[in-house]
Each structure stands twice: as C-alpha cells, then as structure tokens.
Amino acid sequence: MDANTYARAVAARLGTAVELDPKARQLAELPLGEMARHWYGEQAPPPDDDREMLRRALAGDLPIAQRAVNSTFAEVVAEGMTMAVSESFRRARPSSAAWVRPKPVSRLKGRLAAVEIGKGAEVGPGKPYPVASVDGTSNPYHVKKSGEIVFVDEDTILGDDIDALGSIARTFSGEAAAIEDDAVYARITGNGTTPDGIALFHTSHSNRLTGSALTHTNYATAVKTLRLQKTADKKRLRLRAGVLMVPCELEETAYALFDGRPDNDPGRPIVVSEPRLSEHSSTNWYVVADPAQVDSVCLLYLTGQREPNVRSEPAPFRRDGLAIRLRHAVDAEVVEWRAILRSEA
C-alpha cells in the first residue's frame, strides 16, 4: 500500500494539479469515506460501521502485524492537504516576492551573516588581495511561528465535503502569504535600527529624501542617489533601481511615470503597490535596488520548510474526526540598507 498514491488522490479531489498513476486516478473518483475504507481494506477487513471504520483508519488502528509498516489515513490526508496548500500558496504570491529573496536558516533564532561587499580593487605585484569578510555577529533574526489547528468532524469526511477541506487549504495559503508580507513590510515601515545603530532610513545612510513627491524629476533623483551609494571604504556600489514601491494611493502615478516605455526597458522598474505602505503613509514611496544585483531584505524560513507545513492526526479525546495543524514560520531582515531608499513627500 503506497500512502503517497492515496495522498495524491486526496490532493486531486481538492482540485490540485498532481500527476496520478492509474490507481491514484481510480481512487480520486471515490468519496473520501470510501477512500478511507479502501485504504483500511488493503490492510485488514474494515468494520461495517462507517464511523468506526473511519476512526480506525484515521488512527491507524490495525492488526498488530500491520501497524509498523503503514501510515495512518490521517497522515495520508495531511500529505494531500500539503500538496493543496503548496499549490494555493504559490498562487497567492506575496507582493514582496517581487523584490525579496527567500533564504533558509537552520534555527529559529540566530544571527544572519553580513557580507562586506565592494572590496574589489587592483592588486599590484607582491601585494595582498583586499579582504572581504562574512560577519556572523550582525543582523540578529528570530523566525516566528504562526498557525492554527482546524478540527474536521466525521460528518465532513463521510459526507465528502471537499469544499470544506479545499477552503481550509485556500484560506491558510492566503494567510501564509499575508504573514510573509507582514514580516517584510514591518521592517520597512518600522524603520528600526541597522547593525550600525542608526535607523534604517536616515540622512547619514544617504537613503532618505524629504520633500519629494512622486514625479519624474524626484524619481530620477532617487535613482541617482541609489546609484551613488558607497561602501564603508568609499567604493561606489553602482546599484541599479529595480523596484518602485508605493502605497495604493500612488499606484496610478507610479505607472504613469513609465507610460510609453517598453516592459523590457532597463530603466523601467517593477512597480509594487502595497496596502501596508498605505497604512503607514499615503505619500512615502521607496526605490529598491535590482534584487538580481544585491539583497536589500531577505525573507528567512527554516530549512526545508519554504511553504506552509501541514500535519494531521485523529481529533483528541471527546472530539470525533480529524485535527489539522497548519503552520508557517518566517522572519524578514534588512541585509543591506544601501540598497533601499525612502522618499517622503
């Protein structure tokens, strides 16, 4: 008995685009209750009573000889739900995905290594190469877990209420995408301190412009300011503007700046309109360096858990059915303050 075959059948019932072998295709035509009976019946004679059969299937309550070699049907449902949640999550796509790179970390808490960039220089005969460092003493991070437990009763499964299970997958996927954007934009609007002890957007960082409404002229000034950024040892970074982030109130203004310019114009940035920026200010706008050139902000996630995590087990005592736990763990950290600029009207 291949648990993954059953899981793919569950995912297909939830509307997920998965590859199905002939057996999985047949299983996907069954109601969930019948699928559970079929799963149980491959290992032991199932009870006649549907509810008793479902309870045993969810718990993996099998003859002793079978218990060590098979998943529970609860785990089968969880794997199918994981496939559905993953697909929905990819469709949800946080707005920050346009300019923030995901980065795996091995622990919930730690320090993010900061790479000292811009050290390249001519090396004369017999002279040492300039040293660039990877400093693990900067940028503390804390990956935060968010999630919930949803109880699905026996009637939902035996009644084959696929819409209810699909709704759980879609809703949590949207929530997970929102969690990522919350983490990223909180770093931007919060204007916290960087490892040098100065606020993220500060005149001493040369990444804060004032009295600058979003116009062609002011955008050009912001692009030039970004390009003129230097490293600590005064070497120019030659950063290219790649993203223009605006509150919703400035979305049309932002697009109008580039009317008539083709999409592949290297001077045309990606425009990101974000409600979280509106909640902070309806007039501030941001220019971010091309993410292909340098990271400004990283989205941190636990290694191997880029997408929301789903687990399930039989509902605890005094509740019948299935308990589904959904979890997403992320954090966001500024890794290069020179690569992002705020303009305040």
The tokens for 31 are: 């109601």
| DSSP labels, 192-223 | -B-TTSSBSS-GGGT-EEES--S-HHHHHHHH
**One domain for residues 137 and 271:** yes
Q: Per the domain annotation, does 8 fall within a domain?
A: yes
Mean pLDDT of 86-96: 92
Q: Per the domain annotation, does 295 fall within a domain?
A: yes
pLDDT number for residue 120? 56
Count of domains observed in the chain? 2
pLDDT band at 115 (very low <50, low <70, confident <90, very high): low
Q: Per the domain annotation, does 81 fall within a domain?
A: yes
Number of alpha carbons in the 13 Å side-chain half-sphere of residue 306: 10
Measured from the Cβ of residue 175, the count of other Cβ atoms closer than 10 Å reads: 17
**One domain for residues 222 and 83:** no
Helices (H), the chain: 3-13, 22-27, 32-41, 50-59, 64-67, 73-92, 154-158, 162-190, 216-227, 251-256, 275-280
Q: What are phi and psi of 223, to 5 degrees?
A: -60, -45
**One domain for residues 208 and 173:** no
323: containing domain = 3-98+161-182+314-329
**One domain for residues 274 and 167:** no
- Would the pLDDT of 1 be above 70? no
Mean of pLDDT over the chain: 89
Q: Per the domain annotation, does 262 fall within a domain?
A: yes
Q: What are phi and psi of 90, to 5 degrees?
A: -65, -35
Helix (H, G, I), strand (E, B) or coil at 325: strand
Q: Per the domain annotation, does 144 fall within a domain?
A: yes
Q: Per the domain annotation, does 240 fall within a domain?
A: yes
Mean pLDDT of 324-332: 94
**One domain for residues 156 and 171:** no
**One domain for residues 7 and 76:** yes
In angstroms, rounded to a whole number, what is the distance separating the alpha carbons of residues 333 and 94?
16
Q: Which of 296, 305, 298, 299 is nearest to 337 (CA)?
A: 296
Mean pLDDT of 101-110: 88
Of all residues in the chain, what percent carry a pLDDT higher than 70?
91
**One domain for residues 155 and 49:** no
10 Å CB burial of residue 289 (0-12, 13-18, 19+) is buried
Q: Per the domain annotation, does 215 fall within a domain?
A: yes
- Would the pLDDT of 272 be above 80? yes
Q: Per the domain annotation, does 124 fall within a domain?
A: no
pTM, whole model, 2 decimals?
Answer: 0.84
pLDDT band at 67 (very low <50, low <70, confident <90, very high): low
Mean pLDDT of 200-211: 95
**One domain for residues 77 and 169:** yes
**One domain for residues 169 and 233:** no
In angstroms, rounded to a whole number, what is the distance separating the alpha carbons of residues 48 and 37?
10
pLDDT number for residue 112? 72
Helix (H, G, I), strand (E, B) or coil at 345: coil
pLDDT band at 127 (very low <50, low <70, confident <90, very high): confident
**One domain for residues 19 and 103:** no
**One domain for residues 136 and 32:** no
Mean pLDDT of 141-163: 92
Task: Go through the chain and tell me how many residues it has.
Answer: 345
**One domain for residues 107 and 216:** yes
